[in-house]
Each structure stands twice: as C-alpha cells, then as structure tokens.
Amino acid sequence: MAIENVIMMDVVGKIKYVDKFAKDIFLFNDIQIVDAMQEIDSGRFILPIREENMGELLGFAQLVSGETMMDEKKFVKTVNKLNELYKGSLNLDMVSLAKSENDLGKALAKAREFDNNLVVEYSELRDVKTRIEALEKSKIAYSYLDELDAQMSELDSLENFSYSLGSVTKDNAMRLKSIYNSVTSIVFHVGNQEDNEEVFMIVSPKDLEIESQRILRALNFKPIEGFNAKYTESPKEILKAIDVEVKNLQTKNADLVKELNIHLEENRVDATDSFNTLSLYANLSIIKKYMAFSDDNFYFSGWISKRDKQRMEAIAAKYPEMIIMFSDTNKGSGKPPTKMKNNWLFKPFETLVKLYGVPSFNELDPTPFLSITYMFCFGFMFGDVGQGLFLAVAGFILGKRGVELGKILFRLGICSTFFGFMYGSFFGFEEVIHALWLRPFEEINSILFVAIGIGIGMLFVAYIYSIINKLRKNEIKEGVFGKNGICGFVLYASLLAIVGINAAGFEIATLLTPILGVLAVLLVFIVLIREPLANYLQKNKHLYDESPADYYVESGFELFEMLLGMFSNTVSFIRIGAFALVHVGLFMAFQTLAVMAQNGVISVGILILANVFIICLETLIVSIQALRLQFYELFSKYYTGDGVEFRPVDLEINLF
Amino acid sequence: MSKSKHACISTKALAMRARKIKDNDYLELIKAKDLKEVFLYLRDHSYYGDFLRKMDPENLHRTEIEAHLNDLKVRETEKLMHYLSGVEKNYFQVLLIRMEVESLRILIRGIARNDDLESLKGLMVYSEKYTRVPFGRLFRARDWEEFKKLLIDTDYYRILEIYKDVKGTQDLVMIEKNLDRYYYDLLKNRLMKLDKKSNRDLIDVERRNFDLLNLIWIYRGKKFYSLSREELIAYSLRGGLKLNEKRLLDLVNAKNLIEIKALLTNSDYAFLFNHTETIDLYMERRQERYLYFMYLKLFSEGNGSLGRVVAYVRLLDFEIEDITSIIESKRYRMSSDEIKKYLIRPID
C-alpha cells in the first residue's frame, strides 16, 4: 500500500555516546524525532523491568529535558560567518561527514584562527572604504561651488566673514527667500539635493554670526559636510584632485579584495571542514534538544519506517549497553505520523490529497486512485493533441524549476494529448487528424452515457475504499451497515441494476426487478436501523447512543440524503462528458468568428487568440471541476484525511 | 461625478456624526461632580464607551482618558480612509499624522525631563496601521541620540538631527515649533494637490486655519518670546487664504498691538483682537470656535463631498478637546458657567 508503516523507536544509551549516536540519527535522516521527555511523561516510553535495566530505569527519576541544556546558537553564529565570507559557496558535505570523525574542539579552534587572520585584511579594507566614502562626500560638497572662480583658501581665511553651506526643505526655502532682504547675511542658492532639498550658501559677517545662525536653525538648516581646510585650490581643481584620489583608492580596494579572496581560497579546505563540523554540531544540538538526560544515560524517541528497523538495530549494536525498543502503532503509542510513499507517476498528486488532508495512518492512501482518475477525467474533458502538448511542455518546464503544480500539469497535458488522439482534435481543428474513437459533437449521447458509466465505475471504487477504511477502523456500524459501507454499496448496485435492465429491455427484467426491489427496500431498512443492529451484534449494552426518537429522526433524514446523493453523485459525472462537448463548442464559436472576418490575417489572429483563450480557460475550469468531483463526490464517501504528516529531521540548520 | 464618488463615505460620516454626543450630554458632563462621574457618564452613555471600558474607574488619570478618547478618532479616521484613494487618501492620512506628531512631542518632552519613556505609553495615540514611527522601540531609547537614530527611516529624522540636545527650554520650544511646521507644511502640500474645483470650501477653511495660526504665532512670538522678525517668518505657516506673504511681513513689522489691530480692521480675523482684557485667555478658544462654525457649515453643506468627511473628523477633534477641557475643569472645581466659557462648542 502507499502508506508506509511507521513504528516508534525508543532508545536509551550511555551519555558518552550521545554525540556519535546523534550524528548517526542525523545522517540517517529519515526519522521523525519526538520529544523524549514528553514520551516519558505520558508513560509511553516503557523499559522492560529487568535486572540489567536497573540503572536506566532509575535514571527516569532524575531526567532533564535536552531543551534546557542544549544551545546551537554559538555554532550557528560561526557557521553563518563562514557562509558570509564565502558568499554561500560552502555546502554541507554529507558524505565526508559520514566518513570522518569530527572533532568539535579542533573545528572551533580552526575557525577562531581563521577569523583572526582575516581581521588584519578586513580592517585595511574597511579603512579604504571609509576613506572613499568621505571623499565622495567632499566631492558632493565642492561640486555645489564648482562655478566659483576663487581659491578655497581665500574663502577659508576671510577676516570678517564666514561662510557655510547647507540645505533646507522646499517650504523652508520659500520662507528663506521672503526674508532675503532683511536677513543679516548674503544668501546664494547654489543647487538642489537629491532628496528635494535646496542648498544655500550663506556668507555672514562674523560680528553677526550668532544672529544668522539662530535664523538658520529656525529654518532647520542642515550644514553640508565634507569641506576640509586641507583643500586650498579652486573648487574645480579640488574636484579633479578628489577624482584622482578616489580612483587610486578603488584600485587599492580591488587589490585588497583580490588578496582576501586568494586567502579565502587557500583556506577553503579548512574552512569547509570547520563549516561541516560546526553545521553538524549545530544540528546535533537541535537533535539533542529533543532528548532527555539522566546522569548516565540519554533517552531518545522517534518515528521510523518499519522497513528501517533492521538498519536502526545495526546502528544501535555499535554502542555497548544501548537499549533499543520498537513499538507498533496499534499499541497506542500516540498517533503515528503518516508517511506516504508513491511512485514517480503519482507522487506529485500527493499535493492535491494534502490539500484536503493528510491520510490517517490506518487509512488507504487515496493518491493512486486520485491520480489515475484525475488524469483520466482531465483528459476526457479537455482532449486536444496540440493544446495538451502545450500544457505538457509548460508543465515540464515549470516542474524543472521546482513548481510542484508544474509536474501535475505535465501529466495532465499528456492525458489531454492522449484523448486528443481519441477525439481527433488538434488545436481545436477536427479536420487535421483522424479520430481514433469518436468525435464528441457527432455522438453527443454516447459521450454523455460513457461519462456516467465512468462515474459509476469511480463510485464503485470509492465504495470499496470506504468499506476497507471503515472496517480497518473496526467500524461495523458504518462499514457494514452504513450508507457508504457494504449495505450502501449493494443498495447502489441493485438500484443501478433495476434501472439498467429495465432501460435495456432485457427479458429477465420482469423476473429480476421485484427481487432487486425487495432487496433494495430491505437494505434501506438495514441502513435505517444500523446503530442498534451493530450494537446488538457487538453485544453492547446500549442499543442506541442517544435517545431512539432522536436517532430515527436523524437517520430518516440521512436515508433521504443517501438516496438523493446516489442519484445526484451519479448524474454529477455527466459534467465530464459535457466538458468534452464544451471544448469543441467553444472552438466552433471562434472558428465561425474567424470565417465571418473574411480576412486572412484577422482570421488567423482570431484562431490564435481562441487557442490561448481556450488553453487558459479550460485548463482552469477543467482542473477545478475534476478536483471537485474528487473532493466532493468521492472523498466525502471514503476519506477522512485527519492524519499527521511524517516530517523527517531537517537536513540543514537554517542559515540566517 | 465627484458627488457620486463620495456619496457613500459622506453618508457614512453623517451616520457617524449622529451617534456622537449632543448638547444635553455636554450639560450632563458639565454637571458631573468629579473626574470619575465624567468618566462613568462617557463610558455608559456615549460612543466612547468601547475605548474606556478597560480603564479602572477607581484609578483614573486625566491624560490617559484623553488618550483613549483619541483612540476612537484613530479608529474612525482609519475606517473612513478605506473609502478614499490617491491624493484624497494621502490628504486624509495627514489627520493621523497629527496624532503621531503629538505623541512624538510627548516623548520628546519626556526625554527633556529625563522621564521613563515607558511610563508615557498610555498617552500615545497613533495609527498602528499607518505609522512608520517605531513607537515600540522608542520607549526603550535611553537618550536623545538613540531616540533620533530610531527615527532615521522617517521624515522626523531630518527635523531632529540638527539638534544636539533637548535639555534647554529654548531647544525644546524650537523642536516643537519645527514639528508643527513640518505637519502644517505636509498638510498644505497635500491639501493643494486636491482637486481645486470640487474641494473649494474645504481648501478655504483649512487655509483660514493657517491664517489664524499665523496671527496667533506672530502675536505671541512678539509678546512672549520677543523673537526677531526673521524668526517669526521662519516659523510662520505658508498657504494662508487672506494673509499672503506681504501681509504677513507687514504684521511681523508691526511695532505693537495697536498696529496689528489696525492692519486687521477690515479682515475676517478682527475678532481675535477686538477685546480689552481677555485677548490672551480666550485667543485659542476664539480661533477654534470660529473654525468650529466653519466646519459645521462645511459638514452640513458638503453633502457628497470630501469636505464633509474632513469636517467630521475636525468636529470630532473639537469635541474631544471640549471633553478634555471639562475633565480639566473638574480639577479646578470650576462652576458650570465658568466651564462653558472655555468650551469650543457654544452651550447654553
């Protein structure tokens, strides 16, 4: 079956082996770790009481959760630093991790040494960068004065005047302008800043400087930085000099970066080593958080696949005095997670199933059934060789880029192509290829009947799934006597038979109809009284779980709903035939338009547009309709989807 | 076109105004013996109840009640903003920025006084949805430098960065003036972007407000702060309706009150100064009552316009201010008649 059996594994080991064991778990990967402390607290982690287990048993009394003791942050910090230096080009190498003994102390020491070596180069680099930044500032500052034909030294050494440059907002600039003539300084507008502020140069007599400053402050005047007394030439010359200096520094900067990179490359092996080891320890710390510890022992719990049991036992055997226990799902060790296992064809459809819910561990995985019927319905409704291939290609590309839905689209496209050949439709044209089966528009009745036939087939399978699922959960009431159980199934089949043989006019009909009729009435009655019947057979004391009156009112309505449902669910499948017709009809409408246009270019344009339109619209509608059939008509019969997904250990710690 | 565009929101404003407190509520509040009675009346008989329920009637703080009253304003302004878009929404958002500026002002004063900023949390009123100010982190700022740095992503940084300190009274006053000026410049700029034709009345009222604020500023700047003409102009607002740049300069150049009065003789604003002894005491109330009537008119005549919606919020503003005045008056045990004199809304 497509749901793997999982079992709970409980491990007790000596504390000195904990790192090695955690590493094994990490490399093993396909395990869902459970908080051991919680398992022990809830009494599910049970050690057999034996002489040799005494130490471990006594350890239960002094347990501490790993959560309080472990901290992966210090590892993560160093790992992040390395990652940043190498711009994310370091990768966790699982193979070398598995082979080598990883010494934490050595890795930490190496990383530290590495760090120290970098400090020197880094500080020089930072120096150059700050100098470039300062120069850029000066460049902007002096560029406001670039039309000034004077030496800066002259301005700086004025005896009775001082100057300053600064910016104010647009509104404040207006205010400044309205007091130009009364203010005690000379104001020049010298330019605009990028952030929409206006830049002014203020020259004021030194005697009145305080007053000028007050006014400027009132206008929220922000002085421009970057002027420096060391620049004495005219602004034009200064700007030139700055450009040269910036250029020199940039070359220096490039050299330094190169050197740093060479250094980094030289040490790549060591760095990778440290990176690997530290990442591993970060992961181990996270794993250990889920463990519980006593003075001598560690306790670990997790879900694994049943088929991995032997491999786990082999791992445990490496460590002396390690106790490993497995408990089956039905022994009540919590609700086991569900591990879905499907082949490559069905795998992408798991997404659709999870949209509804993850199957419970004791439920049949609906994925294979859903996949087959979903693809079939899609193709049936939207069968076209050209458009189907287009979808398949689009889906393939998307799938390669990691879009899960793309993979589904690819499969749907292939089915569409297949049915395209059946219907003989190529980009909507029915003249290009020969229909292998039939042309939907020419045989409307057959296609609708076939659609219902397919629906009946699918419903039958759904009944079987439902019966298996319910019996697995020991639900006699619903599984045997319920509307989606054996009774419901037989009732549905006999009603269909009555309709079928009468419609076909078989001679046997006169004989069979009354028999089947009686059977149907009997079955309806059984469904009505399913609760007391099941309780009676299971020898329960109470026949009814609620008051009989309530039960019969409710059950009566359910009967009504069941019979109606049988009819409507069946008829509902007509839509797959109807959409096959819609596909043809839609294109015919466009084709008529194209003919009416009576202009070659426009006609071709219309037909291309028609295809784009049909591809988009039908893909959307048909995929929704097909999914609706699955979720509403089929899942509601047999599927609960209240399971918990199996989540194996995360491969890598989050690097951020 | 514009009528139908705002029909929905304008009707909504009408409905919201109908739920606000009435004259007889005012009378009840004025009659109340103390802070607690005012609080209980508001909680149990007014639309503010929702925002006051969390407060403990036995342990009330005047300023916190005010903050909670303003919470209602934030919520309603946000609600109305839903119905607007583009320049109109932008303009409307300024109403929220007003409260943000007020909250910042409270915090800056707190820093100047070395208060624990966390203790001022209850007084903060701002729109969590629209603010870019990281208030949560501002409370933890230890000093002025840190405070400024936290605001680096907001417009406020540019205003505050040139101030090295807030400890001096002069600095604090200037910072507050600066914040005000920032707010009104923003208001003016966004106001002027609105469609001139359909929002004529609204734009005029707002510009009258600028005029009045300028008059008060120039009058007080001369009388109390003895500021230079240039500084008076530097902090004046732009975009006034009747007082253009030239008239402002004339006012600034006026040597005394008599000259100011003379300049305003034939203007709409003569009422501010046509009194003998109570000019200072009631100056703000007179300004606000003038605007109150303006907005009331805008509200009732602005059917289907943005004006009505703005007027709604402004009127709500005045209402909250009045309630605040009533609450304050309880502290001084003022008589009913005395209280009424300080209210914006005329009550008989």
pLDDT category at A655 given cuts 50, 70, 90 is very low
Distance, CA of A99 to chain centre: 32
Contacts of B249 in chain A (CB under 8 A): 178
- Give percent of chain A above pLDDT 70: 95
Which of the listed residues B169, B195, B221 is the one where a domain comes to its end? B195
Question: Are A222 and B158 an interchain contact pair (Cβ–Cβ within 8 Å)?
Answer: yes
Residue B57 lies in a domain: yes
Residue with tokens 């778990």: A25
- CA distances for A240 relative to A201, A226, A646, B26, angstroms: 22, 15, 67, 73
CA atoms within 13 A on the CB side of B135: 22
Contacts of B178 in chain A (CB under 8 A): 220
B-chain residue closest to A175, CA distance? B234
**Which residue would you say has higher pLDDT here, A345 or A109?**
A345
Q: What is the pLDDT of residue B1?
A: 44
Phi/psi at A165 (5° precision): -115, 140
Contacts of A174 in chain B (CB under 8 A): 238
Smallest Cα distance from A174 to chain B, Å: 9
Average pLDDT over residues B206-227: 90
Task: Please state the three-class secondary structure of B217-260 as a single string.
Answer: HHHHHHHHHCCCHHHHHHCCCCCCCCCCHHHHHHHHHCCCHHHH
pLDDT at B130 over 60: yes
pLDDT tens digits, one per residue of A130-187: 999 999 999 989 989 888 888 888 888 888 888 889 999 988 998 888 888 777 788 8
Helices A367-381 and A404-423: crossing angle, nearest 10°?
Answer: 50
CA distance A258 to A329: 59
Residues B151 and B179 in one domain: yes
pLDDT at A102 over 70: no
Contacts of A180 in chain B (CB under 8 A): none
Question: Are B245 and A222 an interchain contact pair (Cβ–Cβ within 8 Å)?
Answer: no
pLDDT at A533 over 60: yes
CA distance A95 to A107: 18
**Which residue would you say has higher pLDDT here, A91 or A323?**
A323
Residues B220 and B155 in one domain: no
Residues B191 and B210 in one domain: no
Phi/psi at A269 (5° precision): -60, -50
Residue B294 lies in a domain: no
pLDDT category at A656 given cuts 50, 70, 90 is very low
**Which residue would you say has higher pLDDT here, A327 or B343?**
B343
Question: Are A175 and B158 an interchain contact pair (Cβ–Cβ within 8 Å)?
Answer: no
Residues B42 and B131 in one domain: yes
Which of the listed residues B174, B195, B216 is the one where a domain comes to its end? B195
Average pLDDT over residues B218-243: 89
Strand, coil or helix: what is A399?
A: helix
Q: What is the pLDDT of residue A377?
A: 94
Residue B141 lies in a domain: yes
Smallest Cα distance from B163 to chain A, Å: 9
Number of domains in chain B: 2
pLDDT category at A650 given cuts 50, 70, 90 is low
Which residues of B lie inside 8 Å of A (Cβ-Cβ)?
158-159, 161-162, 174, 178, 181, 185, 188-189, 228-231, 233-236, 238, 245, 249
Residues B159 and B30 in one domain: yes
Residues B46 and B189 in one domain: yes
Evaluated on CA atoms A318, A319, A321, A322, the torsion sign reads negative
CB A224 within 8 A of CB A144: yes
Average pLDDT over residues B170-187: 91
pLDDT tens digits, one per residue of A602-616: 999 999 999 999 999
Instruction: Choose the mutation target among A169, A179, A208 for the interface with B, i.e. most B CBs under 10 Å.
Output: A179
Residues B31 and B149 in one domain: yes
What ipTM was reported for this prediction? 0.86
Report chain A's mean pLDDT, rounded to a whole number: 86
Tell me which residue range forms the domain holding B172.
18-195
Residues B27 and B55 in one domain: yes
Q: What is the pLDDT of residue B236?
A: 92
Average pLDDT over residues A390-397: 95
The minimal CB distance from B230 to the residues A169, A179, A221 is found for: A179
Contacts of B231 in chain A (CB under 8 A): 214-215, 218
pLDDT tens digits, one per residue of A293-343: 888 888 888 888 888 888 888 888 888 888 888 887 555 556 788 888 888
CA distance B238 to B231: 14
A397 closest CA partner among A387, A386, A378, A410:
A410
DSSP string of A443-494, one letter each residue: -HHHHHHHHHHHHHHHHHHHHHHHHHHHHHTT-HHHHTTSTTSHHHHHHHHH
CA distance A316 to A318: 5
- Give percent of chain B above pLDDT 90: 37
B311, two tokens: 């007027």
Which of the listed residues B195, B230, B250 is the one where a domain comes to its end? B195
A640 closest CA partner among A513, A469, A496:
A469
Residues B52 and B173 in one domain: yes
Evaluated on CA atoms A345, A351, A352, A357, the torsion sign reads positive
Q: What is the distance in angstroms between the CA of the first residue and the CA of the last residue of chain A?
A: 40
Q: What is the pLDDT of residue B141?
A: 86
Residue B8 lies in a domain: no
B221 closest CA partner among B168, B181, B163, B268:
B181
CA distance A108 to A114: 10
Question: Are B158 and A219 an interchain contact pair (Cβ–Cβ within 8 Å)?
Answer: no
- Indicate the Cα dihedral angle A303, A307, A308, A313, nearest 10°: 100
Average pLDDT over residues A550-555: 90
Q: What is the pLDDT of residue A467?
A: 93
Contacts of B234 in chain A (CB under 8 A): 172, 175-176, 179, 215, 218-219
A626 closest CA partner among A370, A377, A351, A346:
A377
Report chain B's mean pLDDT, rounded to a whole number: 88
Q: What is the distance in angstroms between the CA of the first residue and the CA of the last residue of chain B?
A: 41
Q: What is the pLDDT of residue B3?
A: 52
Contacts of B233 in chain A (CB under 8 A): 175, 178-179
Phi/psi at B162 (5° precision): -75, -10
Contacts of A220 in chain B (CB under 8 A): 158-159, 162, 178
Question: Are B245 and A171 an interchain contact pair (Cβ–Cβ within 8 Å)?
Answer: no
The minimal CB distance from A174 to the residues B162, B230, B238 is found for: B238
Instruction: Choose the mutation target among B178, B214, B233, B244 for the interface with A, i.e. most A CBs under 10 Å.
Output: B233
Q: What is the pLDDT of residue B260?
A: 86
Q: What is the CA radius of gyration of chain A?
A: 39
Task: Please state the three-class secondary structure of B6-64 as a single string.
Answer: HHHHHHHHHHHHHCCCCHHHHHHHHHCCCHHHHHHHHHHHCCCHHHHCCCCCCCCCHHH
pLDDT tens digits, one per residue of B242-278: 998 889 999 998 888 888 888 888 888 888 888 777 7
| Pairs across A and B, CB distance < 8 A | 47
Q: Break chain A into its structural domains and give their ranges.
A: 3-96+270-339, 150-233, 351-638
B-chain residue closest to A170, CA distance? B185
Smallest Cα distance from B204 to chain A, Å: 20
Phi/psi at A223 (5° precision): -60, 145
Contacts of A171 in chain B (CB under 8 A): 181, 185, 188-189, 238
Average pLDDT over residues A82-90: 74
Q: What is the pLDDT of residue A324?
A: 87
pLDDT tens digits, one per residue of A440-485: 888 899 999 999 999 999 999 999 999 999 998 888 888 899 889 9
pLDDT category at B78 given cuts 50, 70, 90 is very high
B238 closest CA partner among A354, A640, A173:
A173
Average pLDDT over residues A115-133: 80
The minimal CB distance from A220 to the residues B162, B188, B245 is found for: B162
B-chain residue closest to A173, CA distance? B234
Evaluated on CA atoms A34, A39, A44, A45, the torsion sign reads positive
Question: Are B228 and A174 an interchain contact pair (Cβ–Cβ within 8 Å)?
Answer: no
pLDDT at B68 over 80: yes
CA distance A152 to A148: 9
**Which residue would you say has higher pLDDT here, A589 or B50?**
A589
Q: What angle do CA B130, B132, B137 make, to 5 degrees?
A: 125
pLDDT category at A641 given cuts 50, 70, 90 is confident
Average pLDDT over residues B97-116: 92
B31, two tokens: 């009659």
Residues B42 and B180 in one domain: yes
pLDDT at A245 over 80: yes
Average pLDDT over residues B292-313: 90
Smallest Cα distance from B230 to chain A, Å: 6
Question: Are B158 and A220 an interchain contact pair (Cβ–Cβ within 8 Å)?
Answer: yes
Residues B250 and B138 in one domain: no
CB A195 within 8 A of CB A176: no
**Which residue would you say has higher pLDDT here, A100 or B233?**
B233
B122 closest CA partner among B199, B50, B68:
B68
B-chain residue closest to A211, CA distance? B228
Residues B26 and B149 in one domain: yes
Fold classification of A150-233 is Alpha-Beta Plaits (3.30.70)
Question: Are B238 and A214 an interchain contact pair (Cβ–Cβ within 8 Å)?
Answer: no
CA distance A271 to A268: 5
